[in-house]
A and B are shown apart, each in its own frame.
Chain A
């Protein structure tokens, strides 16, 4: 089993502040996804990164995949209350036949006005 460790587990910040969530593993992943989940709903795919060193931007969100494809980070600039949610990273193992994902434990982000 390839473990994905997310940090921090919980983050509470004021509106307008920046935040970074980390996702680390000792294993190499073919791709890594970031999802956001709100209470009582399913996760929503934010981004997929597949190339080592890749950086993707989605409005105020910046995602980076480590050069060795073992780690990733999510940075939110000028956070807003609408960014509140559970952020999950998920990695696709190399040589997996079905496209299974290994999920991190999640980071609960709370942005207060």
Chain B
């Protein structure tokens, strides 16, 4: 159980275009999902907390207009990187909190590798 999927697993886009990443909880309902960014050989950096049916909460320094988050259902959250630039290239990982499991237990997706050329 507790499987989280992400799509796509990797994407290459041109500078100035937008990219949407989907995060789905496959076998549980997730009222809260989290979006992280990870640079090579570094730890995870929380970007935002996504709650079903409400606006996302962004961490300090994360541009909400650039990283649009939508949590439309209990099993789906999306992250859209708008007007992407090469510095947005990174590994983006989502996680979901199973509302029936421990409050702090997060289950992670496999990640999406974004390369902006």
Q: Chain A residues in contact with chain B, CB under 8 A? A: 30-31, 33, 35, 40-45, 48, 50, 88, 90, 92, 98-101, 103-106, 108
Least CB distance, A84 to chain B, in whole angstroms: 14
Interface pair B105/A48, CB less than 8 Å apart? yes
Interface pair A33/B108, CB less than 8 Å apart? no
Least CB distance, A81 to chain B, in whole angstroms: 20
A50 to B93, CA, bound (A): 25
Q: From residue 11 to 46 of chain B, which have CB atoms closer than 8 A to chain A?
A: 32, 34, 41-44, 46
Contacts of A45 in B (CB 8 A): 105-108
Tally of A-B residue pairs with Cβ under 8 A?
A: 65
Q: Which of B32, B44, B91, B109 contacts A98 (CB 8 A)?
A: B32
Q: Chain B residues in contact with chain A, CB under 8 A? A: 4, 6, 32, 34, 41-44, 46, 49, 51, 57, 91, 93, 95, 97, 102-111, 113
A43 to B107, CA, bound (A): 8
Decide if the interface of chain A is mainly helix, strand, loop or mixed: strand
Interface pair A43/B108, CB less than 8 Å apart? yes
Interface pair B44/A88, CB less than 8 Å apart? yes
A97 to B105, CA, bound (A): 14
If the complex has contacts A30-B104, A45-B107, A48-B105, are A99 and B32 also in contact, measured as CB distance less than 8 A?
Answer: yes
A48 to B49, CA, bound (A): 21
Least CB distance, B89 to chain A, in whole angstroms: 15
Contacts of A100 in B (CB 8 A): 34, 46, 49
Interface pair A92/B104, CB less than 8 Å apart? yes
Contacts of A90 in B (CB 8 A): 104, 106
Interface pair B103/A31, CB less than 8 Å apart? yes
Contacts of A44 in B (CB 8 A): 108
Contacts of B108 in A (CB 8 A): 35, 42-45
A48 to B98, CA, bound (A): 14
Q: Which of B42, B57, B106 contacts A99 (CB 8 A)?
A: B106
Interface pair A92/B44, CB less than 8 Å apart? no
Contacts of A101 in B (CB 8 A): 34, 46, 104, 106
A33 to B43, CA, bound (A): 14
Interface pair B104/A106, CB less than 8 Å apart? no
Least CB distance, B104 to chain A, in whole angstroms: 3
